[in-house]
Amino acid sequence: MISQYLLMFITAFGAATLLPFYSEILLVAQLNAGLSPAWLWVAATLGNTLGAGINWWMGMKLSHYSDRKWFPARKSDLIRAQNWFTRYGKWTLLMSWMPIGGDALTVVGGIMRISAVPFFILVGIGKGLRYALVIGGVNAL
C-alpha cells in the first residue's frame, strides 16, 4: 500500500519538473481505487512542491541556459512570470499550481533569488490547495 503513495509522490514530483507527468490523472485513479485522500494529498503536495524546488534551483543556478530546449520553461513563459514577479513579488509563487505558467513561476523564483523557506512555504500552499480542490471535486462526484 505504501508503494501506491510513493508512486503518487514520484508522479507529482515529476509533474513539477521537465518530465511529462500528469499527477492529477493518477490522483483521481488512486482516489477511485479507495486510497486515503489525506495520504494522497500529503504525497502529491510534498512531491510536487519538492519537484518545484528543482525548477527553483535551475533558475538560481542555470538561468543563463534559459534559451536551451531542456530548460523547464519557455522564454515567453519566463518573461510573463518575471512580469508577475516584478508586480506582485514572491506572493506570485502562490500561483505556481497553474497548469500554464506555474512551472515558469518556480524557475523565476530561483532567478529572482527568492530564499528557500518562503519559496517552499508559498509553493507548498499553492500546490496543496490545488490537490485539495481535485480531491474535493472527486469526492463531490
- Alpha carbon distance 24, 135 (integer Å): 9
CB < 8 Å & 24+ apart, contacts of 86-92: 90/114, 90/118, 90/119, 90/122, 91/122
Q: What counts of helices (H) and strands (E) characterise the chain?
A: 6, 0
How much is the average pLDDT of 68-82?
Answer: 77
| Global pTM value | 0.86
Q: What is residue 84's predicted lDDT score, i.e. its pLDDT?
A: 79
Q: What value does the mean pLDDT take over residues 11-23?
A: 86
The residue among 132, 99, 120, 116 whose CA lies nearest residue 16 is 99
Give the mean pLDDT of 47-55: 96
> In this model, does residue 81 exceed pLDDT 80?
no
What is the predicted pLDDT for the residue at 35? 96
- Domains of the chain, by residue range, sit at 2-140
Phi, psi of 71 (to 5 degrees): -65, 140
Is the Cβ–Cβ distance between 81 and 59 less than 8 Å?
no
* pLDDT over 70 (residue 72): no
pLDDT tops 80 at residue 66:
no
> Is the Cβ–Cβ distance between 110 and 92 less than 8 Å?
no
